[in-house]
Amino acid sequence: MIMRSVKSSVKGWKTAGPCLAVVMVIVVQALGLGAVWPQELAEPRLDEEIAKQQKIFQRRGVDVPSGYITNRGLSDYAELLPTGFCDALGRLGSSDRWLDIGAGSGQAILDYYAPEGDAPSGEKCAQPGAKARAVAMSIEDRQTDKWREQAASLGDDRMRYLSGKSLRHYSREELGKFQIITDVFGGFTYTADLSRFVDNVLSLLEVGGGFYTLVPGVHLEDGKDKLGVFYLTELENAAGRPEKVCSWLKKCSCAKVTCQSKSDWKRPTELIKVEKVCSDVSVPRMKLVEFEAGYPPDRRFQLEQ
């Protein structure tokens, strides 16, 4: 208990590096709290925090935190996802498939399927012509009447909405394969099991298909992070040294990873495209070390040996 309050009173110590951790050990020992190691100080109440996170997903109406946005449209996706997303989407044919993981209300797919001439103004991504089958996935059900009407009018399962569980609870057979998978502040930003999440995504992609996502509050591949940043997702290698999300992803086999670092956004953000180039995918395993619920949550992972 004392350990927890010591840790929470210095939230963010982990970003300050090992020196502060050592100082904390000395201070805690000086307070007569016995021998305490940094791992114990950082001991996460993982289950409690993950349960809190589930409650955030389920909030409704006025209880939804203003930062938890669930209705971004296709033009927001065009701005937030890596270059090439709209062109790739435009190239899909009517038998191809697009999965949006963490779709919220599914507005991006609704915009994609909006009748021609009815697309929202400023729409940058919807193009005339054949449309792929689209699947929206969200843990909590945020389908709108508009979604139900549009899906019913198109029929033939052109737009499907899946809810009630997270990606890892679906079998590969249940979901099938996709040419494009997107994730905009969805599972990639919220999962407590990052390596399994990426493994699942890659297993659902056809060879030649692409995963388009972004991850906020990370150490940037181009190294242009501003000083004093509070990171949301931190990775470290097996020796406890910082690892960038892109350098970790580049260790996956059968994945061609391209990153675009955004140092001038509110949070340092990496826009990421992962192209599946062969079928024998493997993802270096990351273990969850810390998790603090939020929108988005605060997470730390360490590469397993």
Cβ-closest position to ligand SAM = 102
What is the rounded CA–CA span in Å between residue 185 and residue 242? Answer: 23
Q: Using CB under 6 A, list all residues that contact ligand SAM.
A: 57, 68-72, 101-104, 137-140, 166-167, 184-187, 190-191
| Closer Cβ to ligand SAM, 179 or 213, answer by number | 213
How far apart are CB 6 and ligand SAM at their closest, in Å? 30
What are residue 51's phi and psi, to 5 degrees? -65, -40
DSSP label of 294: S
| Closer Cβ to ligand SAM, 179 or 191, answer by number | 191
How far apart are CB 206 and ligand SAM at their closest, in Å? 20
How far apart are CB 198 and ligand SAM at their closest, in Å? 11
| Closer Cβ to ligand SAM, 28 or 199, answer by number | 199
Q: Are 140 and 103 a contacting pair, CB within 8 Å? A: no
Which residues are CB-contacts of 35 (< 8 A; sequence separation ≥ 6)?
Answer: 29
C-alpha distances in angstroms, 109 versus 97, 102, 118, 237, 243?
12, 12, 14, 37, 34
User: Token pair for residue 181?
Assistant: 């998978």
| Closer Cβ to ligand SAM, 43 or 292, answer by number | 292
Q: Are 287 and 302 a contacting pair, CB within 8 Å? A: yes
| Closer Cβ to ligand SAM, 7 or 72, answer by number | 72
What is the rounded CA–CA span in Å between residue 199 and residue 129? Answer: 32
How far apart are CB 31 and ligand SAM at their closest, in Å? 39
| Closer Cβ to ligand SAM, 185 or 231, answer by number | 185
How far apart are CB 183 and ligand SAM at their closest, in Å? 7
How far apart are CB 91 and ligand SAM at their closest, in Å? 22
Question: How big is the CA angle at 252 (ends 244 and 97), to the nearest 5 degrees?
Answer: 105
